[in-house]
Amino acid sequence: MESLFPITVPLLMGNHRALQDPGPEFTDPLPLGKFSVQFSRHALRHLVQEIRQRRFDDWQWFLLALQADEIHLAQRRPSQLLALDHLAERWKQVGVIPYPHQIKTAERVINEMRGQAILADEVGLGKTIEAGLILKEYMLRGLVRKALILTPASLLWQWYTELYEKFDIAAGIQRSKWDWEYSDVLIASLDTAKRDEHAQIIGNIQYDMVIIDEAHKLKNSSTAAFKLVDSLQKKFCLMLTATPVQNDLKELYNLISLLKPGQLGSYRSFRSKFVKDKRTPKNPEELRKLLSQVLIRNKRGAGTVQFTKRIVHPVVVKLSPPEQELYDGISAFVKDVGRSASSLSSVILPLITLQREVCSSFFAAGVTIQKMLERNMAQPSPALLALLEKAAYIRQNSKCDVLEQLLPSLQGEKVIIFTEYRATQDYIRYRLERAGYTTVGFDGRLSRGKKEWIKQQFFRDAQIMVSTESGGEGLNFQFCHIIVNFDLPWNPMRLEQRIGRVHRLGQTEDVHIYNLVTENTIEEHIMYLLHKKINMFEEIIGELDAILLHLNLEKSFESEIMKIFLQYDEKDMIKTQLDELGDKILKGKQQIRESRIDLL
């Protein structure tokens, strides 16, 4: 039976990296009583240095700790989690029901992996719940007091809320350099932590546990983020990522080596033994066995979670003659500028923005045209002046008309309306408030605290939340199950982020997705690609980011679509080119799934 507590070599005072630092060669196993530890030569030199400096505990203390560990083992099965009983009443109050795969994952991490694990569940299966349960368990056992959670800045508040509401852990959010040393449980942005002025402070702190969310961002061993995490003094470490390998098996090697140096040997030996090409493994069974010692991946389906359905409702919007005239004028302007530009890369982003905005609202397009004119006051473009005049005389927004007709059929249910543009957001709220609806706005201008406050306002009082893209990440809205895409993002990743705010673990209702699509515009083509071609809406594509990387696009996904739009005028030719792009996505999806079956 394995020990409940990790038994460390008694000669060291908390510097576990001396045991894990990968060297080019390894010594023979060094016997220590009934334990056997394998050291790299570098680690052995470090160990000798620690002994010379007399940084070790008394042997009697070690024997006493060993005896206590054995007594505890005799009284309690190691698989039992203290946290389950401890949190039972709180979970009942907040409506949390832990899934069997989450409990099993926590038990494996604690009892088999000694608190060193990559949690690689597919998207939406609750990796945050698993990490919070493991952290709480170690805190209850007295093994974790000082903990650091590194996450993308957009997820700071979500982690704070999850830990407090579901696990009764009062964490701090890092705001100044003083927080690093004085907060026992601290949530911080990885981008902030890797800066030199912060990294120097963090490097001197001994952490009991470090948790890294979106850990695939550490895939490159030459980055400052990788070097920071590698330098941390930590007893336990959890890495959370749905995509542990994206484009190269070396990324997986880097993550494993960061977590448990030496697990896969040197990179030279790993490449020789396990890499056929950068995406195809050799000896998959042996590699899978090594990975299973440090990596857990739960997948959707039997034994985990059955998600509710996604039900898609395309809503075709016919533009009024003035709106269609403005759209055609802007499209002609965009094509003229794009085709005549000496370097497309220098103009493609503003052209993409203008082309998408005119499908969103005349108001958003007009604001952008005005800004473009203001930047060129000395020589204003006559074509832009004519377009601005057309936008100024439009008094109707057909999309908002259709939206107001749609809302009564939703029978008072809470609705999230997504748009990519603040000008459109403001216009939608103006129209809906005038029609008698209560609305709140959610966008990137809000502070962390105000975002959470807006979420609570939406939950308690408002029927409608109008959100820009910032609502596509960071906060979860499982209490709502109706989404309206007022305009469609061209990048499927952004669309998945929107839907993922409501269609995730804890959602009990089928999710209804209403897509407002303007007829005879580029939105028709985007809807065809995302809905008909790659089935973006009904199926969760957890590996979408990896698929897009796999395409090896010269530019962004949006730029690829824009190049097609600029090159062709005929609808049939545009559809043919989008067909080819969709086929590439589907092929990449299949290749990634096949390669991941061999590993995970």
Condensed to tens digits (0 to 9), the pLDDT of residues 66-116 reads: 777 665 654 554 557 889 989 998 888 887 888 889 999 999 999 989 899
Band the pLDDT of 130: cuts 50, 70, 90: very high
275 SS3 class? strand
Q: Work out the angle at residue 187's Cα, subtended by the Cα atoms of residues 186 and 193, and round it to the nearest 5 degrees.
A: 95
pTM check: above 0.75: no
Q: Is the pLDDT of residue 19 over 60?
A: no
For residues 553 and 591, the answer to whether their CB atoms sit within 8 Å is no
Q: 292-314 in b/e burial notation, b at 16+ Cβ within 10 A?
A: eebbbbbbbeeebbebeebebee
Between helix 127-140 and helix 100-111 the angle, nearest 10°, is 50
pLDDT of amino acid 1: 37
Percent of the chain, pLDDT > 70? 82
pLDDT of amino acid 490: 81
At 138, list the tokens: 């170690």
pLDDT of amino acid 468: 87
Mean pLDDT of 15-40: 42
Q: What is the pLDDT of residues 180-211, one digit of tens each?
A: 988 899 999 999 999 999 999 998 999 999 99
Q: Which of 98-107, 143-152, 298-307, 546-555 has the lowest mean pLDDT?
A: 546-555
pLDDT of amino acid 27: 41
E strands, 162-291, are: 172-173, 185-189, 206-212, 233-240, 275-277, 280-281
The span from the CA of 42 to the CA of 25, in Å, is 9
Band the pLDDT of 21: cuts 50, 70, 90: very low
pLDDT of amino acid 550: 59
Percent of the chain, pLDDT > 90? 28
Placement of tokens 């696009």 in the chain? 553
SS (H, E, C) 539-570: CCCCCHHHHHHHCCCCCCHHHHHHHHHHHCCC
Find residue 316's DSSP bridge partners.
517
Q: What is the pLDDT of residues 476-512, one digit of tens each?
A: 788 999 999 999 888 777 787 788 888 877 788 999 9
469 SS3 class? helix
Residue 421's H or E segment, with its range, is none
CB-CB neighbours of 36 under 10 Å: 10
Listed ranges 244-248, 282-286, 458-462; the one with the highest mean pLDDT: 458-462
Strands 275-277 and 280-281: antiparallel
Q: What is the pLDDT of residues 249-302, one digit of tens each?
A: 888 888 888 888 888 888 888 888 888 777 677 888 888 888 889 899 887 766
pLDDT of amino acid 12: 40
Q: How many residues does the chain have?
A: 600
For residue 567, CA distances in Å to 340, 358, 361, 460, 491 come to: 12, 19, 25, 49, 19
| Best CA proximity match to 361, nearest among 437, 293, 425, 450 | 425
Q: Is the pLDDT of residue 10 over 60?
A: no
SS (H, E, C) 374-414: HHCCCCCCHHHHHHHHHHHCCCCCHHHHHHHHHHHHHCCCC
Q: Describe the strand order of the beta sheet including 310-317 as a list of residue ranges.
A: 310-317, 511-518, 482-485, 415-418, 464-467, 439-442
